[in-house]
Amino acid sequence: MTADILTVDQLAEFLQCSRVQVYRLLKARKIPQGFRLGEGRRWTTESILDWARERERLQAGPVVRAYRKKSGK
């Protein structure tokens, strides 16, 4: 089984942001750190998808239901 490996440019395209933004997120530790390969960094698509799913789950928050107050006639 082979995992797809993303470069910084590919990750930026995947996340629909700039290369600079990827480096900012990386420095702030808001995205997976990936692994170093020579001078650059690489990420597996699976690690990025797992991270995105977790962020989506955390940002969704708990389900809140609205209840109507019953009138006490």
At 54 the pLDDT is 92
* Domain that includes residue 38, residue range: 5-60
What contacts 46, CB < 8 A, 6 or more positions away? 3, 4
Does a structural domain hold residue 53? yes
At 71 the pLDDT is 66
Does a structural domain hold residue 66? no
How many distinct structural domains can be found in the chain? 1
Question: pLDDT tens string for the chain (73 positions)?
Answer: 456 999 999 999 999 999 999 999 999 999 999 999 999 999 999 999 999 999 988 887 666 666 666 666 5
